[in-house]
A and B are shown apart, each in its own frame.
Chain A
């Protein structure tokens, strides 16, 4: 039992998939501008990854390993994940419309989310047994969600923050301030993704501190 707890904590905090393992960074930057989209994406990833982890692990154990076909694992996994995402989408649309409305647009994007494929590959590479795989497939996406939602909270504030800019940008911002159009917002060149990445760096530094826990 203790082993599984350790595995879960290590997957959520110490080896956080976004900030320490660098997987799933495209949706991380794409959906963290608003809290609503961040929550939707986090839920969709937890939902799909738990299923994808189980299905790909079974595929590996039943087909690929006994038949000696490990070398086509990449093709098999991506096809399985793509099919699974389609299936989940259809299933939710029919049976749980409320959840579908919430996850809606995020589901198709998950096929190309490298966090999903990445965790499936980690499960195989670390040679987890079924229970360990189950814990890791649940804990990694929870870590993804925690980091994504925390970061969305920060980013909502960053858009309102002042960041060092060139003189003409500062003049522009001051003009905006006078016009009370927007509160001085981050502007070129340290705008948008650039400042988001630097912020993510410092969050990652905080998560690096969890290394001391184990």
Chain B
């Protein structure tokens, strides 16, 4: 295995392994919270926080946690940070907290967080784990924001609540309903494949 630089550790989450397109993990939130740009972005930030914090703690404790019980330990670490995010969002961004609903506690079972803890943070040092979590989190936020923007612009004719097309625009409501989420994500994956296969 070749040694990777610290910069590569960070940037791989932004393009090479950008979740959820390259690593097809954690699909539930990306389908459910991308009805609009704002919710997607908020969810992305919440997930970034959990990812970075859990990576830090898992990496710092990797020599203490016995390998047989590591997965339950990781889950409890992740759950702790999810509760912190839940309480903070409830206190400061209450409307967003209501829109995201059960998808905030469900960050606990998001495969990306557990996947990074298991595949990366439990084997690597503190600095690299922070960069990995940050890169993956920002990559995820970008994906959610882009998908949210596309669905909001076509499905509601607005972007982050602002009118774009004027009053004569007929919203393409298919996009903000459940089927639109699947089709839109599928097509985006195809576009990513088109760019990335060579």
Residues on A close to B: CB < 8 A?
Answer: 19-26, 29, 71-75, 77-79, 82, 111-114, 116-118, 121-122, 125, 166, 188-191, 193-202, 204-205, 207-208
Contact A74-B82, Cβ < 8 Å, known A25-B28, A114-B110:
yes
- Tell yes or no: B177 within 8 A of A by CB: yes
The residue in B86, B87, B114, B179 that gathers the most chain A C-beta atoms within 10 A of its C-beta is B179
Residues on B with beta carbons closer than 8 Å to the beta carbon of A199: 186
CB nearest neighbor in B for A72: B83
Closest to B110 in A: A114
Main secondary structure of the interface of B (DSSP, over half): helix
Residue of A74, A113, A193, A202 near B24 (CB, 8 A) is A193
List residues of chain B with CB within 8 A of the CB of A193. Answer: 24, 186, 189
> Hey, which chain B residues are within 8 Å of A202, CB to CB?
179, 183
Note all chain B residues with C-beta closer than 8 A to A74.
79, 82-83, 86, 105, 108
Closest to A200 in B: B182
**Bound complex: CA of A170 vs CA of B82, how far in Å?**
47
B92-118 contact mask (Cβ, 8 Å, vs A): 1 or 0: 000000000110011011110010000
* Chain B interfacial positions (CB closer than 8 Å to A): 24-28, 31-32, 72, 75-76, 79-80, 82-83, 86-87, 101-102, 105-106, 108-111, 114, 174, 177-187, 189-191, 193-194, 197
Q: Per a CB cutoff under 8 Å, which of A121, A189, A191, A201 touches B106?
A: A121
Please tell me if the beta carbons of B108 and A78 are within 8 angstroms of each other in the complex: yes
Distance A166 CA – B31 CA, assembled complex (angstroms): 28
Whole-angstrom distance between the Cβ of B17 and the nearest chain A Cβ: 15
Whole-angstrom distance between the alpha carbons of A126 and B86 in the complex? 19
Contact B102 A118 (CB under 8 A): yes
The minimal Cβ–Cβ distance linking B130 to chain A, given in whole angstroms, is 23
Contacts of B27 in A (CB 8 A): 22, 25-26, 29
Q: Which of B83, B106, B182, B197 contacts A198 (CB 8 A)?
A: B182
User: Quick one: closest B residue to A197, CB to CB?
Assistant: B186
Among residues of A, the one whose C-beta sits closest to the C-beta of B33 is A22
CB of B31 within 8 A of CB of A25, answer yes
Contact A208 B178 (CB under 8 A): yes
**A191 close to B75 (CB less than 8 A):** no
Q: How far is the CA of A189 from the CA of B189 in the complex (A)?
A: 8
Q: Tell which of A79, A111, A195 touches B76, judged by Cβ atoms closer than 8 Å.
A: A79
Contacts of A77 in B (CB 8 A): 105
State A35–B26 Cα separation when bound (angstroms): 23
Given contacts A72-B83, A197-B183, contact A190 B190 (CB under 8 A): yes
Q: How far is the CA of A117 from the CA of B79 in the complex (A)?
A: 12
If the complex has contacts A112-B111, A112-B114, A198-B186, are A19 and B178 also in contact, measured as CB distance less than 8 A? yes
Chain B residues whose CB sits within 8 angstroms of the CB of A198 once the complex forms: 182-183, 186-187
Residues B32 and A22 in contact, CB atoms below 8 Å apart: yes
Give the residues in chain A near B178, CB-CB below 8 Å.
19-20, 22, 204, 207-208
Q: Can you list 11 A-B pairs, Cβ within 8 angstroms, ordered by A?
A: A23-B106, A24-B28, A78-B76, A78-B109, A79-B72, A114-B110, A117-B108, A121-B105, A125-B102, A201-B183, A202-B183
